[in-house]
Amino acid sequence: MPVLEILPKVYSVGVVDWNVRNFHGHTYTTKRGTTYNAYLIIDEKVALVDTVLGSFSDELIENIKQVIPLEKIDYLIANHVETDHSGAIPAVMKLCPKAKVIGTEKCKEGLYRYYYGNWDFQIVKSGDKIKLGKRTLVFLETPMVHWPDSMFTYCPEEELLMPNDAFGQHLATSERFADQVDQCALWDEAAKYYANILWPLGTVIIKKIEEVQKMKIPIKIIAPSHGVIWRKDPLQIVSKYAGWAKNDTIPKVVVVYESMWGATEKMARKIVEGINSTGLSVKLFDITTSDRTEVIKEMLEAKGFIFGCSTHNNGMLPTMAGFLDFVKGLKPKNRIAASFGSYGWAGGAIKQIEDIIQETGIQAFASNISVQYMPDQSELQRCVDFGREFARRING
């Protein structure tokens, strides 16, 4: 990523990871790649806010060198311990050993456990400030948005918020600003990011947004650590987060299934037919061939979920079981869910799905639908009716 002066003497010095397709291990597919953003602020004192994934350390260092020799860095602000932002800290600190690392107490603990570096570390709390010269950096602890160590850095003179992972998108682009990129891709990636990473943290996110709103700090630019920078109407992404965090929904159903010999698939298609006949928006996914990250994004605003699975060994098939385990961890609220599936001689999959719906705290639909072996015409019609009834419940 070419170095870009995003504000006078504030430089974007991060890197683009065009080719990454799996993130967080294999928990998140990044079909559009990502960026690891870092910001260099030049004043009487020099601050580097965040670094990049360790394998891109050299590129980050070359970018910084285009602006200033590394030994001039006074402060390395570590907003977050996770290695996609802290991975280059050891390499950078070798070249500016006198710099002070700034972060929360949990950040200090986490960085030590990752890198065992003997760095001068200053712990900061919410409201603590560092004067750079004309500019100030103010810190806001944001525990569990999205790790215990997480923190936002704010520069009041520039009205610049650097919230690390919050408000990011996994989107590799040559452009640096949100208003320069394809808006469909931008919002698709912003929603996917929230759904797959931040969805379980809605309560904390609402509180943190309210806390920032009460502070009445002007925000002209939001510069996250992934993707593009929000400079035109930057609060639009904050409003979106507020809605997602409140689990706001739209009348829409997502049907996800796994089928062993095609019976559950036939049922799924008829259920979708029933939903469709009411005019309600619906999407159908075979979880064995779908990208889970995309399915979760589709679920983010959907009011209704329907999960189907054939019974195997008295329980669910493994891909569906893994998917629902992931869904459970996201703790979606304010939803209605139903289950369906085929079985041979003894059921079990539906019971497991219903247990997960209950454990997740999703409201269960009044009924489910199961079929032995292959559905006949009347059972297929029951599936259509089931879909129609579920749609009425969602619309109701």
Assess whether 233 carries a catalytic annotation. no
Assess whether 26 carries a catalytic annotation. no
- Shortest distance (Å) from residue 64 CB to ligand FEO: 20
Residue 82 in contact with ligand FEO, rule: CB under 6 A: yes
- For residues 10 and 378, what is the distance between their CA atoms, to the nearest angstrom? 67
Q: What count of other Cβ atoms lies within 10 Å of the Cβ of residue 52? A: 31
Q: Which of 50, 84, 258, 265 binds ligand FEO (CB under 6 A)?
A: 84
Q: Which of 226, 231, 292, 335 binds ligand FEO (CB under 6 A)?
A: 226
Residue 292 in contact with ligand FEO, rule: CB under 6 A: no
Residue 192 in contact with ligand FEO, rule: CB under 6 A: no
Q: Is the peptide bond preceding residue 146 cis, with omega within 30 degrees of 0? A: yes
**Binding region for ligand FEO (CB under 6 A) out of 81-89, 289-297, 338-346, 350-358:** 81-89
How many residues in the shown chain lie near ligand FEO by CB under 6 A? 8
Q: What count of other Cβ atoms lies within 10 Å of the Cβ of residue 314? A: 12
- For residues 322 and 330, what is the distance between their CA atoms, to the nearest angstrom? 13
The torsion defined by the Cα of 145, 146, 147 and 152, in degrees rounded to 10, comes to: -50
- The residue from 43, 141, 146, 257 that is catalytic is 146
For residue 308, what are the β-bridge partners? 257, 340
Residue 262 backbone class (left: φ over 0; alpha: ψ -120 to 50; beta: rest) = left
- The residue from 39, 75, 80, 389 that is catalytic is 80
| Residue 209 vs residues 57, 104, 237, 336, 380: alpha-carbon distances, Å | 32, 19, 11, 27, 47
Residue by residue, DSSP assigns 265-328 as HHHHHHHHHHHHHTT-EEEEEETTTS-HHHHHHHHSSEEEEEEEE--BTTB--HHHHHHHHHHH
- For residues 47 and 41, what is the distance between their CA atoms, to the nearest angstrom? 5
Assess whether 17 carries a catalytic annotation. no
Assess whether 291 carries a catalytic annotation. no
Residue ranges with strand state E in 165-301: 221-222, 250-258, 281-286
Residue 303 in contact with ligand FEO, rule: CB under 6 A: no
CA atoms within 13 A on the CB side of 102: 26
Residue 79 in contact with ligand FEO, rule: CB under 6 A: no
Residue 24 backbone class (left: φ over 0; alpha: ψ -120 to 50; beta: rest) = left
- The residue from 24, 44, 58, 248 that is catalytic is 24
Residue 85 in contact with ligand FEO, rule: CB under 6 A: yes
Q: Which is nearer to ligand FEO, 86 or 264 (CB)?
A: 86
Closest residue to ligand FEO: CB criterion = 82
Binding mask 33-72 for ligand FEO (x = CB under 6 A): ----------------------------------------
Residue 362 per-residue DSSP state: P
Q: Which of 30, 76, 80, 145 binds ligand FEO (CB under 6 A)?
A: 80
- For residues 83 and 90, what is the distance between their CA atoms, to the nearest angstrom? 11
**Binding region for ligand FEO (CB under 6 A) out of 78-86, 237-245, 338-346, 375-383:** 78-86
Assess whether 116 carries a catalytic annotation. no
- The residue from 84, 149, 265, 389 that is catalytic is 84
Quick one: which of 93, 96, 148, 142 has its CA closest to 115?
93
**Binding region for ligand FEO (CB under 6 A) out of 77-85, 134-142, 259-267, 306-314:** 77-85
Assess whether 165 carries a catalytic annotation. yes
Residue 189 in contact with ligand FEO, rule: CB under 6 A: no
- The residue from 74, 85, 226, 241 that is catalytic is 226
Binding mask 121-160 for ligand FEO (x = CB under 6 A): -------------------------x--------------
Name the residues that contact ligand FEO, by CB under 6 A. 80, 82, 84-85, 146, 165, 225-226
Residues forming the active site: 24, 80, 82, 84, 146, 165, 193, 226
